[in-house]
Amino acid sequence: MTLENEIKRRKTFAIISHPDAGKTTLTEKLLLFGGAIRSAGTVKGKKSGKFATSDWMKVEQERGISVTSSVMQFDFDGYKINILDTPGHEDFSEDTYRTLMAVDSAVMVIDAAKGIEPQTLKLFKVCRMRGIPIFTFINKLDRMGKEPFELLEEIESTLEIETYPMTWPVGMGQSFFGIINRKNRQINPFREEEMLKLDDDYELETPHPISEDEAFQTAVEEFMLVEEAGDAFDEEKIAGGELTPVFFGSALSTFGIEEFLDTYVDFAPMPTPRKTEAGDPVDPTDEGFTGFIFKIQANMDPKHRDRLAFMRVVSGKFTRGMDAVLARTGKKQKVTRATMFMADDTETVEEAYAGDIIGLYDTGNYQIGDTLYGGGGGKIEFENLPQFTPELFMKVSAKNVMKQKHFYKGIEQLVQEGAIQYYKTLHTNQPILGAVGQLQFEVFEHRMKNEYNTDVVMEPIGKKIARWIENEEDIKESMNSPRSNLVLDRYDNRVFLFENEFATRWFSEKFPEIKLYSLL
Ligand code: GDP
C-alpha cells in the first residue's frame, strides 16, 4: 500500500465524557466491533477510574506502566482507527486536555438521563477551540432518560453546536424498541435477547411502559419532525465542529454501535496537518517522518525509572530503528523501543504512519511538546502545546531545608514535563503548584520522593480562578488582596488567583481597565 493510502485509512479520535456516562463500555464495544478483542471487559486502563487515587498508585506500582496508557488501535472496514481515552475522575489532569491535541476528531458520550455534565463541557471546549469534528453518542437508552428533543436542545444551547441526529430512538427504558437509521431509513429493532444481556445493575425502571405500537408511532412522528425542522446536513460544518452528528444507543447492550461506526468512518477526517513553530503546516503525506510528544507516562515503580512518551505521528512513516532527531536538542538517536497498544496487549511497533499514536520508551530525554523528525525531512519544530488554566493550587516546600537544590531541580523537571504548573508568590517567592486535577499533586509528591529523593510539604490553598493580564503595566499593588491574589507564573507573568466567581466579577467591575484572560 502506498504511503498516501496507508495514511488515508487512519482515523484518530479521543473519547470524551463525564465519568460514568459509559466511555469505557462504548470503547469496549467499539473494539469488539473492530474484532480487536474477543470478549468485552478486557479494556485496560480505565478501570483505574474506579479506584481511589491511592489505589491508583498501588496499581501503577504493581503493574508498571501499562495501567493508564490508554491508546488503542483497531480495524474496522479497512480503516485503522486509533482511539484515545481521556481519563476522568481522580485521573483528570492536564494530560487529559493534551490528549485532545493529538487527535483529529472527538466522540462525546452523553448519559441520556443526565445530559451535558461539567467534565464533558470542559473537554468539549478544548475540542471546539481546535475546530475538530465532534460526534455525539447518547448512551443508556435502555434506561429512562430525558426526551431526545430535550437532549438535542441541551446540546445545542449548552455547547452552542448544531445537531444532526443520524439515528432516532424508538422509546426508551423498558419500552426501548429500536432505532431508526436515518442513513438507510431502516429500523433496527432492539432484540429481547439484547435486553437479557444487560448486566446485573440493569433494573427495569420504566414507570409507565408504553406499547410497542405507541412507541413506534411516536418515534416516526418525531423523526419526521426532525427531518422537517432540524438542522440541515452540512459536511463542512461537521468538519469544522459546528454541527455534531448525533447517535442514540445503549453501549452496554451493544446497540447503536454499528450505525455509529459506519457514519464515523464516513465523516471523520483523515490525519490532518499540524503547524510548525514558524507557522507552516506539515502535511501528513509528506515523505519525511515527523511527530510530537503530547503525554509522558511516568513509571511509578522506583525500580523502573523508565517512562513512556506518547507520540502522535504527524507525517510520513515511522520505522523501528530509524534515526530521528529531537528538535529541541538537535540530537540524533536510533528509535528502537516503541510500542503500540492493541486491546489485548501491547506490540512492538515495526512501522507506524501519520495519525498513529506510539509509545516511546524514555529514560528522561523527552519533554511534553517535543518534536521528532527523521527520514529525510529538514529540521522542523511543531508549535507549542497550549497551557491550560489550572483550578487547584498548593503551596509547596521541601521538608528538609538542606534539600533545596534537589527540590528545585525536581520541580523544574516535572514542570517541563508538563506534570504540574509552577507559580510563586510575588515578593516572597514561595513556590505554588497549579493543576487541573488533584491527581497531579499526588503524582508530584510521589515522584519528588522517588526520583528526586525529596520529601515535600504541601499546603492546599484550594480552588482558585486564575486570570492572566493583558495590560500588566496597569497593575497596582493595591489590587493584590487575599481575594484577588497576585502571583507569578513560570515565565514571570503576573496572574491573579481569584477566590471565586464573585471575586472575579467584583474585581472586573471595580477595575474595568484591567483586561483579564484565561488560558484554555
Ligand atoms: P465511564 O466512567 O464513562 O467510562 O463509564 P463506564 O463505561 O464505566 O460505565 C459506567 C456505568 O454505566 C457502568 O456500570 C456501566 O455498566 C453502565 N453503562 C454503560 N453503558 C450503559 C448502557 O448503555 N446502559 C446501561 N443501563 N448502563 C450502562
- CATH code of the domain containing 192: 3.40.50.300
Give the list of residues 6+ apart from residue 461 with CB closer than 8 angstroms, or none. Answer: 393, 394, 395, 432, 497
Q: How far is CA 346 from CA 44, 66, 118, 299, in A?
A: 11, 9, 33, 16
The DSSP bridge pattern shows strands 134-139 and 243-248 to be parallel
pLDDT at 350: 85
What is the spatial distance between Cα 235 and Cα 241, in angstroms, rounded to a whole number? 10
Q: How far is CA 81 from CA 75, 158, 286, in A?
A: 6, 29, 20
Domain-ending residue, one of 267, 289, 317: 267
pLDDT at 87: 75
Q: Are residues 414 and 479 in the same domain?
A: yes
Residue 194 has pLDDT above 50, yes or no: yes
Residue stretches of the annotated binding site for GTP: 17-24, 85-89, 139-142
Domain-ending residue, one of 252, 267, 282: 267
Residue 63 has pLDDT above 50, yes or no: no
Q: Are residues 153 and 201 in the same domain?
A: yes
pLDDT at 193: 57
* 465 CA distance to ligand 1 middle (Å): 32
Residue 340 has pLDDT above 70, yes or no: yes
pLDDT at 56: 38
How many domains, the chain? 3
Domain-ending residue, one of 242, 267, 292: 267
What is the spatial distance between Cα 381 and Cα 371, in angstroms, rounded to a whole number? 6
% pLDDT > 90, the chain: 58
- Do the Cβ atoms of 231 and 163 come closer than 8 Å? yes
> The whole model's pTM is what?
0.85
Q: Are residues 310 and 346 in the same domain?
A: yes
Of the candidates 86, 244, 84, 54, the one whose C-alpha atom is nearest the C-alpha of residue 166 is 244
**Which residue, judged by its Cα, is nearest atom 24 of ligand 1?**
140
Owning domain of residue 134? 3-267
Mutate to test the pocket of ligand 1, among 16, 20, 119, 255 (most ligand atoms within 8 A of CB): 20
